[in-house]
Structure 1
Amino acid sequence: MKTINQILNTVKLASPILYWVVVIHFIFAIVCLAGLVIDERTLMGVNVWIKPLKFSISGGIYILTLGFLTTLYPFSRRKKNIITNIVAITLFLEIVIVLYQAARGVQSHYNMSSPFDGILFGSMGVLIAINVFIMVIFIVETIRLKLNTSKSIQWAILLGWIIVVFGSWVGGQMISQMGHNVGIADGGAGLPLVNWSTIAGDLRVAHFFGLHAIQLIPIFAVWASKKWNTSNRNQLIAVTLFGLLYAGWIGFTFYQAKMGMALIQL
């Protein structure tokens, strides 16, 4: 398995713009950590810098993952540049909006309190929609093409993209109800850092696990291929079972949230 440094170097050579957007995301995460220490302002019961911290880390990991996975596809250089640059620029703009709103001490999501805030929230919706469209492109291309990897890992990547699209759909559910909690208004008691509600349903749980399927399922496939010396057929079965279990977990957390139940009731 490639080390983090090898992955970073691969991405840097393949897509310098995307690479630096990843670096900027992690720099933003450090800025947010500093904000937690020096800024005591809160929003809906938590420090204003918690949300941009989570988005900086999660966004940086996703962009890095996409940048690396793109190198496995037999795309032309031009096609790779178009895809990675679109992802890098759109998600950079999104994290800038999240940080800007945090610095103002106001919500970035579901904020329609003024025309300006509504425009920013709507803009984030457009930026994410572009990225969901790219996810769908990856699903089609993963089915259509032979990737520069084993069959079991390619299958894991496909499962990952499919589940990521579902995770994005859960995000759309939150937008449709203008909030992430079910049963009560957003805010209130939540788990440390992630702030998932401990008193009501919270769609962010299924959203989180859905979005990170594109890392966890391929990582399992790589681990299984290295640790388990067996046939391709058995590798495919193992990846399929893991993917189904992971999808089942996400489905459970989504159902649980829609029923108004907290992941962990406190």
Structure 2
Amino acid sequence: MENVQNHRPGIPQDQLPEHPRDRRPLSGAVRDLWRAARPSERLCYATGTVLTLSGLAHLLVFAVDGGPWDGPVSWRKPVTFGVSFGLTLIALTWVTSYLRIGARTRNVLLVVFAADCVLEVGGITLQAWRRVPSHLNMESGFDTAVSMSLAVGGGILVVLLSVFAVASFRRRPSGPTGMRLALRWGFAILLVALASGAAMIARGVILTKTGHQEAAYHSTAPLKPLHGVSLHAVLVLPALAWLMSRTAWSERTRNGVMRGAVACYAAAVAAAGIWAAITY
């Protein structure tokens, strides 16, 4: 059993590996997590929830208003970005509690990350309601400002998430059995999402600057599956480790399941990468 005493002080008690047979309802565990959270964590959880609900609300807008699901101008973008950024913010707020970094540093990084998520989703949603592309759109001064702010925000996201990824490898994360493996692989796969996102932006900007605006909008399609699959490993794998901590399974069984889950997730990312290479 991993040493509970190594866990950074201030982490909610329900996140500690107290006993593998914690059979409390999930709603109770979430409620305890909220009660024990610091103000900055509560802000991030609330912000992530609002962003997720915003994405789901735009799914209803799409159902009513219709229009294309694909393409640079569609309701798909506020839906997918709202849900993805919301879930990622909630996941990062939770999983970084297992990282061995200073509390003040973590709080600052999380608040900046939350603000950046709001900027990204807000800009994309605004442009969707204006019926114009959000990314790579240089048609007017305002559109250029929105597009550039999204690009800068993306750069900030890369820096912040890279800091958390490095922290997960510099010092052994705490948590229940399998959490260390889940966190390190989750962040490693997340770096693939950041790299693919940066590649999409870079290629699109180059095509836009050289006068190939329409090609720029469609150039990101091959990398989208890779970006989407790799983005949420940092949520799926730690969530699996936490769920297994609530079972009576042995540590050996849980470690084996986690290694299998990591292998399956890595295979899915590799397949998306191969598809991107073939169709790019």
TM-score (norm 2): 0.75
Q: 1:132 aligns with which of 144, 147, 158?
A: 158
Structure 1 equivalent of residue 232 of structure 2:
212
Change in 2 beyond 3 A, CA 1:76/1:30 = same
Give the CA deviation at 1:114: 2.6
- The offset of 1:60, in angstroms, is 0.9
- Name 2:274's counterpart in structure 1: 255
Residue 253 of structure 1 aligns with an amino acid whose one-letter code is A
- Pair 1:157–1:202, CA change in 2 (3 A): same
Residues 175-204 of structure 1 deviation map (CA, whole Å, 9 limit, x = unaligned): 22219xxxx95889xxxxxxxxxxx96211
- Once the two structures are TM-superposed, the CA of residue 57 in structure 1 deviates from its matched residue by 1.0
> What is the rounded CA distance, in whole Å, between the counterparts of 2:144 and 2:267 in structure 1?
35
Aligned partner of 2:249: which letter? N
- Deviation of residue 213 (structure 1)? 0.9
- Within 5 Å, which residues of 2 pair with 1:127-166? 127-166=153-192
Give the Cα separation in 2 of the matches to 1:8 and 1:60: 18
Aligned length: 246
How far 1:26 moved relative to its partner? 2.9
Of 219, 229, 251, which residue of structure 1 is paired with 2:249?
229
Instruction: Give 1:221 deviation, angstroms.
Output: 3.1
CA separation of 1:229 and 1:43: change in aligned 2, threshold 3 A: closer
| Partner SS, residue 18 of structure 1 | helix
Q: Distance in 2 between matches of 1:29 and 1:44?
A: 16
Which residue type is aligned with residue 202 of structure 1? P
In the alignment, what sits opposite 2:26? 3
Q: Which moved more, 1:147-156 or 1:104-113?
A: 147-156
1:19 CA drift (Å): 2.2
Structure 2 SS opposite 1:229: coil
Deviation at 1:222, TM superposition (A): 3.6
How many Å separate the matches in 1 of 2:90 and 2:52?
11
**Could you tell me how far 1:7 is from its partner in structure 2?**
3.5
Which blocks of at least 5 consecutive residues in structure 1 are unaligned? Answer: 189-199, 262-266
- CA-atom RMSD in angstroms: 3.2
Contact 1:11 1:64 (C-alpha < 8 Å) held by counterparts = no
1:9 Cα shift? 5.5
Kindly report which structure 2 residues correspond to 1:59-138, keeping only aligned pairs within 5 A, or say none.
59-138=85-164
Q: Select the structure that is richer in helix.
A: 2
How far 1:242 moved relative to its partner?
A: 2.8
Which residue in the other structure is 1:244 paired with?
A: 263
Give the C-alpha shift of residue 37 in structure 1.
Answer: 4.1
Unaligned runs of 5+ in 2: 1-21, 206-213
When the two structures are superposed, what TM-score results if normalisation uses the length of structure 1? 0.78
1:77-101 CA distance string (max 9 Å, x none):
3222201101110111111000100
Using CA pairs under 8 Å that are at least 6 residues apart, name the structure with larger relative contact order, 1 or 2: 2
Question: C-alpha separation between the residues in 1 aligned to 2:186 and 2:192?
Answer: 10
CA positional deviation for 1:10: 2.4
Q: In the aligned structure 1, how far is the partner of 2:66 from the partner of 2:249?
A: 53
Deviates more, 1:83-92 or 1:20-29: 20-29
1:176 aligns with 2:202: yes
Instruction: Give, in whole Å, the separation in 2 of the partners of 1:38 and 1:76.
Output: 47
The letter of the residue matching 1:98 is: I
Pick closer, same or farther for the CA change 1:164–1:113 going to 2, 3 Å.
Answer: same
CA distance in structure 2 between the aligned counterparts of 1:134 and 1:123, rounded to whole angstroms: 16
